[in-house]
Amino acid sequence: MSPAPAPKAADAKPALQSVSIALSVLEALAVAPELSLSELARRIGVAKSTAHRTCAVLTTAGLLTRTEAGKYRLGLRLIEYGQLATARSPVGEHALPLLVELRTSLGETVQVGVPAGADIVYVERVEGPRALRYSSDNSRRGPVHRSSAGKVLAAFVPGVLEARLRAGLQPSTGYTIVVPDLFRQEIDKVRQRGYARSVDETEIGMSSVAVPVRNGPDGPVVAAISMVGPTLRVAGDTEASNVATLHNAARRLSDALELGEYRLPRRRR
């Protein structure tokens, strides 16, 4: 996971300093599973007493929880906020019924992701009937260079590629592209063929293909639809047909975003 950097507490105006400290605490715990009060204070650059007051407020609000060992970790209230943000995302709202259809057609996990700085955030996902679970603890967000959907966003959304290169190309497997020049070449290929592929780059044995989604037929790229599953079922002999199915779904979602609605077709009686 690579969360967007929060503003440092020391750089904030006095009136916003408490908010800045609270954000820094959350960002620190987004990177580390749990931290002691002393570790938190050191990481965000504030006095231990200040960190204690901030953590007390966040814990009362359910945004943090304290372990039996006295350390802090992110609270369950954040899950509720995340679910609300996903449900209220325009892309996610229109994508869900289409993804249900797409999952039935492809038989694999399908998802829609949107850009978040140097990362991709999956606002909607429908698991396939034969789906294998991700090993990642937080597969809703990840760096764009490791996934096909992330590569699509790096190729077609201004600023995403450079943001990822500045943040670094950390490996997930031995197949992850970690050399900047090679990643640029990969993104050029994505632009040329109109879709992206990720073969064993996030997890060994798991691959994906993805296509761009536009805000209207001629609008800017705002998201990516991807299919994820075992490498042989996704990037094998069926890759071309999988991509064609995804392109069709992307066109329908683009139309839905332009019209502001999407409905499942009625079943014939």
Euclidean distance between CA atoms 227 and 240, whole angstroms:
12
243 phi, psi to nearest 5 deg: -65, -40
Burial class (CB in 10 A: 0-12, 13-18, 19+), 264: exposed
The fold adopted by the segment(s) 9-75 is Arc Repressor Mutant, subunit A (1.10.10)
0.95 cut: is pTM over it? no
In the numeric block, the tokens 């990037």 are attached to 235
> Which pLDDT does position 5 carry in this prediction?
53
- SS3 assignment, position 74: strand
Q: Where are the domains of the chain?
A: 9-75, 89-259
Structure tokens at 43: 């990481």
Query: Between 121 and 247, whose confidence is greater?
Result: 247
Angle, CA 248 vertex, CA 221 and CA 136 arms, to 5°: 65
- What average pLDDT does the segment 19-48 reach? 92
pLDDT at 9 over 90: no
pLDDT at 15 over 80: no
Contact 212, 254 (CB under 8 A): no
The fold adopted by the segment(s) 89-259 is Beta-Lactamase (3.30.450)
User: What is the strand order of the sheet 196-203 is part of?
Assistant: 141-143, 119-126, 109-116, 221-230, 206-214, 196-203
Euclidean distance between CA atoms 63 and 56, whole angstroms:
10
- What average pLDDT does the segment 2-21 reach? 62
Structure tokens at 258: 């332009």
> Which pLDDT does position 264 carry in this prediction?
35
pLDDT at 36 over 60: yes
> Which pLDDT does position 85 carry in this prediction?
63
Radius of gyration over alpha carbons of the chain, in Å? 20
Q: Which CB contacts under 8 angstroms, 24+ apart, belong to 233-240?
A: 233/108, 234/108, 234/207, 234/208, 234/209, 235/197, 235/199, 235/207, 235/209, 239/197, 239/209
Residues 6+ apart with CB under 8 A from 116: 4, 141
